[in-house]
Amino acid sequence: MGGNDDRLTVLVVGGGGREHALAWKLAQSPRVARVLCAPGNAGIAADATCVPVKADDLDGLLELARRERVDLTVVGPEAPLVAGLVDRFEAAGLTAFGPTAAAARLEGSKAFAKRLMARCGVPSAHAEVFEDRDAAVAFVEEQGAPIVVKADGLAAGKGVVVAQTVGQARRFIDACLVERAFGAAGTRVVIEEYLPGQEASFLAITDGVRTLPLLPAQDHKTALDNDLGPNTGGMGAYCPAVIVPPPLAERITRTVIDPVVKAMAEEGCPFRGVLYAGLMVDGDDVRVLEFNVRFGDPETEPLLFLMESDLLPVLLGAARGDLSPVIEAGGIRWKTGAAVSVVMASRGYPVSVETGKPISGLDQVGGPDVKVFHAGTAEKDGRLVTAGGRVLAVTARGNDLAAAIAQAYASVGRISWEGVHYRRDIGRKGLAALGVSGGAPAGTRKGDPRGRRPRG
């Protein structure tokens, strides 16, 4: 513990908007003396000390944590978790928030996730796993389209095609199983039933036994308004998600989160960290599309902006395997209203990305209800420039969703760079569900697959 006070040194691993939100929130904890971020980015540098160690450099991170006497390491992205960062840290006597490599298979292997869900009765799309190309194609021909084909392993968000035709599904199967376009990640494919509805992100913190759900959130995954265009990492998010009202959230905790946490413990790989269920919600029908073993990006930005509680005891309790003090103290408290995060991206994202563009207008934005989290920025010759596909996550809180949206876009409108691109409809699905004008975007009606474009 740092020096003669007992406040902690925290290390956040990663360098995007999610990690900025984590670093910013942890820095506010009265129990935190110092936040380091590896590698961080130019915006994170305002809230934490950035250290140039990459998120996948496990040796470098371990050395950094030892050298700086880090008390808690919080891992943003999935790759270091799947690669065993938490196992290595624990073996070295260090505390890290996140699942072990064995538990991270929930995200790292879709086939593992499917088997586990089937075993504990968690509702998901009906699916079959194939390694043989002809058998996979025969199955698709028998089922017909629309149908969803997924590469089994991690494929950087490109490993899923929502095929509108059998031919499209066949081409993706060939890309995986014949051409090996995804290498080892695509030697098996999962073929699953197409689900109608709207997506929601349901995240819960867990210590391996106890679970503490966050507010339900909703991401906007495609690049263009009305859920059109190619899939991205996420173009904006808001919380709480209107389509998951509190009784439904409780049911999701009981029927999805708790059984999975219990089953992982029974499998001999207890899950500690944040379990993120990607859900398809169709009225009262909720099914799991996928699990992630980390915080969502951009969901984390509005979630942490709306969180009233100190984040440190939550993450530390989960990492140490005992959330009971937090639960006994009443769990996580939230500010009233809603929070929205609008991602401002570079021209060409997610296909090809222009970087190095000077960003202007950030000094025009501020106030207690707005925070600009940096996803991909750098400092060049004393100026702030773009340095990634997603550049900023402009986040605002309001007394209701409409106010939060208005507040976020008022700030977005003051920031610019050459080629800036953002969606203009973040949160509109929520307004539509509330019956507030804004209208439902195309592709969200029951049985209408138009908004879901093939990716990959």
The only residue of 19, 299, 369, 425 in contact with ligand GLY, by rule CB under 6 A: 299
Quickly tell me which residue has 């596909």 as its tokens: 389
Cβ distance 83 to 62 under 8 Å?
no
Report the number of secondary-structure helices (H) and strands (E) in the chain: 15, 22
Note the Cα 418 to chain centre separation in Å. Answer: 27
**Does the footprint of ligand GLY cover residue 301 (CB under 6 A)?**
no
Interaction of residue 192 with ligand AMP, rule CB under 6 A: yes
| 148 near ligand AMP, judged by CB under 6 A | yes
Say how far apart CA 70 and CA 207 lie, in whole Å. Answer: 20
User: According to the binding rule CB under 6 A, does residue 429 interact with ligand AMP?
Assistant: no
Binding-residue total with ligand AMP (CB under 6 A): 15
Whole-angstrom distance, CA of residue 33 vs CA of residue 1: 9
By DSSP bridging, strand 198-207 and strand 211-213 are antiparallel
Stretch that binds ligand GLY, among 161-169, 253-261, 292-300, 432-440 (CB under 6 A): 292-300
- Could you tell which of ligand GLY, ligand AMP, none binds residue 400, using a CB distance below 5 to 8 A set by kind? none
If one asks whether residue 297 binds ligand GLY (CB under 6 A), the answer comes out as yes
CB 254 within 8 A of CB 202: no
Distance CA 334, CA 315 (A): 16
State residue 308 phi and psi, 5-degree precision: -85, -40
Residue with tokens 């009906």: 126
Looking only at Cα atoms, what is the longest distance across the chain? Answer: 69
* Interaction between residue 452 and ligand AMP (CB under 6 A): yes
| Among 19, 87, 199, 299, contact with ligand AMP (rule: CB under 6 A) | 199
Stretch that binds ligand GLY, among 89-97, 289-297, 321-329, 343-351 (CB under 6 A): 289-297
Work out how close the CB of 278 gets to ligand AMP at its nearest, in angstroms, rounded to a whole number.
Answer: 5
Q: Do residues 21 and 298 make contact, with C-beta atoms less than 8 angstroms apart?
A: no
Return the number of the residue (241 or 362) whose C-beta is nearest ligand AMP: 241
Least gap, CB of 204 to ligand AMP (angstroms): 17
Q: Which of residues 229-248 bind ligand GLY (CB under 6 A)?
A: 234
With respect to ligand GLY, which residue has the nearer C-beta, 65 or 237? Answer: 237
SS3 call for 430: helix
Q: By the criterion CB under 6 A, which residues form the site for ligand AMP?
A: 125, 148, 150, 160, 162, 192-195, 199, 221, 278, 289-290, 452
Q: By the criterion CB under 6 A, which residues form the site for ligand GLY?
A: 219, 234, 292, 296-297, 299
